[in-house]
Amino acid sequence: MFLPWVAHAQPSDLLQRIEAFQQDLASVYRVKTLNLGGESLGALENESPDYRTDFKLEGLEKQLDNLERNVRYDVYVHVFHFSETDDLNWAMKRWLADFIDGSSIRPGRDSRSVPHVDPSIVVIDGTTITVMTLPCQQFSVSSFRDWRSKLLTYFGSPSAVMIEVAGCEGPLMWSKNPPDPKDRTWK
C-alpha cells in the first residue's frame, strides 16, 4: 500500500526531525547557527528550496584529531526541502555537475577520488536533501559509520538515496538505492 502523504516529509515533520536529531546529540554537541564556515556545497547553495537550514554541531569537549591536535570536533549539517519532486530533481541535476567544492560526479557511478572533498554523507529522501560534512582531520571510520546511521534514522527512509564520501577526497559511493546510471533524471 502506497500513501503519498507519507512519502514526502512535510516541513513541520522535517522541523521535528531536525529538532530530535539535535536533541539526541545535545549531550555531546552544541548547535551553532552563526558564522558556520565549512565546505562549499557547490551549486546546491544557489538553489531556492522552500525550506533550508544550516547548522554546525560543535563538540562540548576537546579531543585529539588525526594531526594530534586537541580540538573541538565540528560537524556541518545542511537541510534543503523542496515543494515538489521536480524541483528536487532539477536541483540534483545542477548539483551533481557542480558538487561539493566544485567537483563533478555522475548519478549512480562510484568514484575512487573526489578532489578537495571532505568526508560527507548525503541523504536524499522524498523532497529533502540532507548534507553532512566534517573536516578531513577529524575523520575516523567508526565515527563516520555512526553519523551514517544517525542521518538515516532521522532523515532517511527505506527508499532514501545515500551518497557517501568515505574519507578525505574519496572514495565516493552511492551506498543506498543508487539511481540507474542510464536514467536521465539527474543528468
Query: What gap in Å lies between CA 25 and CA 28, rounded to an integer?
Result: 6
- In this predicted structure, what is the pLDDT of residue 54? 94
The secondary structure of residue 112, as a DSSP letter, is S
Phi, psi of 127 (to 5 degrees): -115, 25
Length of the chain (residues): 187
Q: Which residues pair with 120 in a beta bridge?
A: 133, 165
Give every strand in the sheet of 128-133, ordered side by side: 29-32, 51-64, 70-81, 128-133, 120-125, 161-165, 172-176
Percent of the chain scoring above 90 in pLDDT: 72
- In this predicted structure, what is the pLDDT of residue 10? 59
Instruction: Kindly report the average pLDDT of the chain as a whole number.
Output: 90
Percent of the chain scoring above 70 in pLDDT: 95
Q: pTM for this one?
A: 0.90
Q: Above 90 in pLDDT, residue 5?
A: no
Q: Which of 106-110, 116-120, 127-131 has the highest mean pLDDT?
A: 127-131
Q: Which of 3-12, 82-91, 157-166 has the lowest mean pLDDT?
A: 3-12
Q: Which of 71, 72, 70 is nearest to 57 (CA)?
A: 72
Query: What gap in Å lies between CA 59 and CA 123, rounded to an integer?
Result: 23
Could you tell me the three cell numbers for 149?
546511521
